[in-house]
Chain A
């Protein structure tokens, strides 16, 4: 295993401390229990958005803490759900009198630990469960579809709505709505290595890929020979569009997400393939996002996410945001 590491057991805390120092203008990092929170308190009451999940998906979720997005994020150990005391402590830190909204990717461990947190905290709270991955119905770590790269789109848009002072119910309903309008699917070209395990999670030979891979390197639909970017794009987008059933001239956000080990050059190439194909199908890409936002450590590969846009979603996507990994108009 070749990684930047001092002691394997300290990887997470050392990384969190560094993250806190690098972005000390906008976030605080609390250790034991671990959580990242917004530094500048909002100047009015608002619903507090808290997300979290296993580490190894950076910048998700800590990189999305800040104005217009999350109030706090709770990182678990690598690929392992955070524990309820983290969510409880984060809730107490960022409560702004309008309730707590948890945003949780649909993975069994995350669901159970956030449920326990929900039982433990005294503040009114609700949960939006993101399950955008159309690759598999049940998987190694889930009952039902997995929550993957679409999560950050849900976080961005609810984050914007929460800044307007919307109620907990409004934020919860809007989050469910954005989740329903969003679908994703990805492919892996190589494995990733969980530091504590020290060896690759799975093996792929030089000309193989895992089609429909999850964001922990867990299996997708099938393992097969690699294909051209155009062929892959077609196969992935067909699956996504079958799920979203867009109307003619539907406007969409097209997000190409890298898993951590694929160069941006290839991700932009993938965006070009996707945009071209959607244009042929009379689907209009009016918003775009390309980059490594929901990663699986150093895994090579990437995913497409499409969100069908309506006026509300577009407005909340465009609104100002200031986090360490997503920033515009502010």
Chain B
């Protein structure tokens, strides 16, 4: 793990999310207020702007600074949650570990911090329905030697999590007001999280 790889991932996430812009916007208009995609793209652009400044820093510093940037520029609930994820990840960075071990531990910590910040858990029709299963699977597979195999498995877990939000009646987040009316709709936060994870996994598979 290093600055170049981290910023490559952000670039890949940005490209993938941009390719699905209309789809995510539509999902959000159905059960939210339609600003999710713009907040995400604005946040990702802010992160990419930091590349020259941060690319040579240690990975924990990079994650921390990325989190702070999201925290101070995105705002609202999503800004607070993504900032918490990144800052949480930065706390578990251990240069002694290999990338998969490291990323698994970091991601698990980040998602746990997010759960606390949002007072939310799996099954509430949010992005956590993608992030929690992914973090658990990563921990289970962290000693696997074939990274591509892990990445392929994670892509499936993320997709299953995303699709699971379709049948949940929301109790948290913006879809919660709609209750029954939001049933049958995929949560836009779950979709964008799943796409982001898929983008990172593809990066590992292609390498």
Contacts and interface: CB of A to CB of B under 8 A. Distances in A.
Given A116-B83, A218-B177, A109 B72 contact: no
Contact of A113 (B33, B73, B75): B75
Contacts of B84: 112, 116
Contacts of B171: 138, 143
Nearest to A138: B176
A77 B35 CA distance: 13
A68 interface: no
Contact of B177 (A80, A115, A138): A138
Nearest to A84: B71
B174 A83 contact: no
A139 B77 contact: no
19 contacts: A33-B72, A81-B80, A82-B75, A83-B72, A83-B74, A83-B75, A108-B173, A112-B81, A112-B84, A112-B118, A113-B75, A113-B79, A113-B80, A116-B80, A116-B83, A116-B117, A139-B177, A141-B77, A143-B176
Interface in B153-188: 171-174, 176-177
Q: How large is the interface on A (under 10, 10 to 19, 20 to 34, 35 or more residues)?
A: 20 to 34
A219 B179 CA distance: 13
- For the complex of A and B, the 10 pairs showing the least CB-CB separation, nearest first, are A112-B80, A140-B177, A109-B77, A109-B76, A85-B72, A80-B76, A83-B72, A108-B77, A80-B75, A83-B75
B119 interface: yes
Interface in B113-137: 117-119
Given A81-B79, A201-B33, 13 more contacts: A77-B75, A80-B76, A81-B76, A83-B79, A84-B71, A109-B76, A113-B80, A116-B84, A140-B176, A140-B177, A141-B77, A143-B171, A219-B177
Contact of A141 (B35, B79, B118, B174): B174
Interface in B59-91: 71-77, 79-81, 83-84
A274 interface: no
Given A109-B76, A112-B80, A112-B117, A140 B174 contact: yes
A139 B174 CA distance: 8
Contacts of A219: 177
Contacts of A80: 75-76
Interface residues of B, number: 23
Nearest to A220: B177
A76 interface: yes
Contacts of A108: 77, 118, 173
A84 B117 CA distance: 13
B32 to A, nearest CB: 9
A135 B33 CA distance: 21
Given A112-B118, A113-B80, A116-B80, A76 B75 contact: yes
B174 A81 contact: no
Nearest to B38: A196
Contacts of A77: 75
Contacts of B74: 83
Contacts of B75: 76-77, 80-83, 109, 113
Contacts of A139: 176-177
Interface string A151-182: 00000000000000000000000000000000
Contacts of A84: 71-72, 80
A219 B31 CA distance: 13
A143 B124 CA distance: 12
B76 A85 contact: no
A81 B84 CA distance: 16
B171 to A, nearest CB: 7
B71 A85 contact: yes
Contacts of A143: 119, 171-172, 176
Contacts of B79: 81, 83, 113
A200 to B, nearest CB: 12
Contacts of B81: 112
A85 B72 CA distance: 6
A141 B119 CA distance: 14
